[in-house]
Amino acid sequence: MSDASKFVAACVQMRGGRDPAANRAAAIEAVRDAARAGAAYVQTPETTSLIERDRDALFAHVGPQDSDATLAALREVARETGIVLQIGSLAIREGEKIANRAFLIDAEGAIRASYDKLHLYDVDLPNGESWRESATYSGGACAVVAETPLAAFGLTICYDLRFPALYRALAEAGATVLTAPACFTRQTGEAHWHVLQRARAIETGSFMISAAQGGRHEDGRETFGHSLIVDPWGRILAEAEGDAPGIILAEIDLARVADARARIPTLAHARPFDVRRA
């Protein structure tokens, strides 16, 4: 008899490029491999279908949600394999800009929930890299908790990881598994990826599951990889080997969420406060 509080989760680590068809084929193969390995929940990274810095080239490949070939194909894979599938994100055309949109697909292949990345990555890094997501992407306006037979998943994407209030709000709204599929730059990933993932898990007493892009991509960017599954006590249950494409798996035992939140009940102990400048 199976334990309804436990399931196997998988992260698909990718090294996406400029060809949506090639990225789609790689994602489909990896998701099927994860399902064959016993995963009931599989997550792909941010920008699963396309990694492209050039704005004109990006728009040339991107269309509305209803015609997105990767979304349609992965919905069918979820239905075929009977898994819950989280597409880390796809670029979806919304008027003059693009939504960086995650999808939670149920075992029947239906879209259970979608989430548009809230926080846009507009930064200048010390190594000379400059990113202006707001020039191309429109930010979301709503946090999302997706209820599934496995768990309640809090959906976030990449740069959201640096905003702890979002994760606390998701946990307070009932999420037991928090997710941050990413395309983290190598420089910032080396500095902060592990500590931020573990901190979000510890602060909320939740699992963190984050599939990542890794390696040097065709558009010139380099991403950190190191997909992670972290338990509510901040322990790393599974980690991808460096930036290489592959799959990681770990058992998710939701009893650990209740245990961590009982031992360190920060969600229950929070008090309202004002800030006074003296």
Catalytic annotation, residues: 46, 117, 158
Calpha distance 95→257 (Å, rounded): 41
Largest CA distance in the chain: 61
Report helix, strand and coil shares of the chain as percent, to nearest 5. Answer: 30, 30, 35
Calpha distance 51→67 (Å, rounded): 19
- DSSP β-ladder status, 222-224 and 214-216: antiparallel
Element (H, E) at 167: helix 164-172
186 neighbors 167 (Cβ within 8 angstroms): no
